Structure 1
């Protein structure tokens, strides 16, 4: 049974998984590059995701891009829930509706409008088969999860998405919401605090106590997530990606990106862009040639 590890390095990949997790409040936000799905048999989970509180009830499949800082701040029930993680490049290659993908990469958590009666059996089967680490069963599970995401996208791609923060949020949550709405602009602790009638020192202390990180680090994470989205979904030059994400210089952008992601922006783009049809055909031809070569007698 998995639990959130506070010592886990940020942006360390989970890979393709379907696992059972125990619900627990997270002392700090988590961030990883995969797309994440949650499904609960009972109870509920409440996330702070990109500065907004969102509750996932039992029985309704939810999906979000986990590069957006996300943190479980409340839950009901003590039963484990299912977590599926899908690498971003694999997700982008599924041929999903563009509006669905766009909303996801903008930091929205989306939920199916009604429960799917087949989910209890499916998630149990996927978790069991992937737990056994059998390559023969992993491919069918990948295809089945892809089909499940396609159905999810079809059902919710035209649903309206709430963008306004809950007025009942705590002071710390309000600060996080403000950052989530303005991170592409020049931001300082003084500006953020003034927008909420607080002294900068008090605002910074309040924020760190609530989220276990500084406002500066939180701003940087939002900018980095925005840059990742632009790198994999557009052909903008690296400099334009940096400026559009809120970074004031290319050197600072490259420094932060390499430090937190372990690679350069250019390397990230290359590793996460789905293959074009021409590239896919080329890879298929190479694979066929290798098979024929290995089947030739005397080789």
Structure 2
């Protein structure tokens, strides 16, 4: 079971972690600024992610962008569980198919379409080696993780994958529908009453219900999604920060800067600079142990 803080800051050095244990079978909404890879042995774990109930099945690698608030709603029969935290910037530099990246940044949990029996062996090896790894070994592990992610991405046909099931009927279903509506429409002007109308609820009740189940207000969730998308664009494009602000749905650059700094700890410019290649990255695309 993870015992460290749920929120992981952008400047955690360098935000790359691998470990094993037993997951919580329920956990309130949380987020961190990495891509999360899960692997379950003997059982499954179910998340509420971007308005859908998604399941990490046993024996198949799963990946999602953990910058979007997500909660653990159930789990059972798990003998062992592996987590890999991978900085988003690493994923963006791999040149993965655009369709795959759209799905990741849109809040999908992607389950490997071509599961490998070698995964638990490799994950166990990474867990054992990484804590005491020297620079060369660390770079080798990073390359192995990146190669595995590339295989997962290439195995995903455009739009294919396990279905994202809506939450069960009742209050949870309403909240899930609100979260998905916000995720799909975050780039346009949205008001609480627009979201409430979409699910047929009074705005006050909609706000109360959402906060009770998601642990944050609808407005905070919307802002979080916009900042997530801005982080993606800052790293993956050279667009001006003002253009990005309006593209992701902020009504003013001042509000964009305020929200971005509050959630990431950086200004948009600092985040872009901070996310450039660092010395810990393997410098040779062919030899992970190269220092050249």
How many residues in Structure 1 have an aligned counterpart in Structure 2? 278
TM-score between both structures, scaled by the size of structure 1 = 0.83
TM-score between both structures, scaled by the size of structure 2 = 0.85
1:216 aligns with 2:255: no
Q: Compared with structure 1, are the counterparts of its residues 260 and 26 closer, same or farther at alpha carbon in structure 2 (3 Å cutoff)? A: farther
Please identify the structure whose Cα radius of gyration is greater. Answer: 1
Distance 2:19 2:10 in 1: 18
1:228 corresponds to: 231
Q: Following superposition of structure 1 onto structure 2, how do residues 1-299 of structure 1 map, counting pairs within 5 Å?
A: 1-3=1-3, 5=5, 8=7, 13=12, 15-158=15-158, 160=160, 166=166, 168=168, 170-273=173-276
Given that residues 44 and 78 in structure 2 are in contact (C-alpha distance below 8 angstroms), is that contact kept between their aligned partners in structure 1? Answer: no
Partner of 1:29, secondary structure, is: strand
Given that residues 4 and 26 in structure 1 are in contact (C-alpha distance below 8 angstroms), is that contact kept between their aligned partners in structure 2? Answer: no
Q: Compared with structure 1, are the counterparts of its residues 163 and 195 closer, same or farther at alpha carbon in structure 2 (3 Å cutoff)? A: farther
Distance 1:5 1:34 in 2: 14
Q: Compared with structure 1, are the counterparts of its residues 167 and 125 closer, same or farther at alpha carbon in structure 2 (3 Å cutoff)? A: closer
Partner of 2:142, secondary structure, is: helix
Instruction: In structure 2, list runs of 5 or more residues that go unmatched.
Output: 285-290
Given that residues 166 and 176 in structure 2 are in contact (C-alpha distance below 8 angstroms), is that contact kept between their aligned partners in structure 1? Answer: no
Superposed CA deviations along residues 181-203 of structure 1, whole A, max 9, x for unmatched, are: 22222222222112222111111
Superposed CA deviations along residues 20-57 of structure 1, whole A, max 9, x for unmatched, are: 14221454322222221111112111112222221110
Q: Which moved more, 1:50-59 or 1:89-98?
A: 89-98
Q: Compared with structure 1, are the counterparts of its residues 149 and 29 closer, same or farther at alpha carbon in structure 2 (3 Å cutoff)? A: same
RMSD: 2.6
Instruction: In structure 1, list runs of 5 or more residues that go unmatched.
Output: 282-286, 289-299
Distance 2:121 2:70 in 1: 27
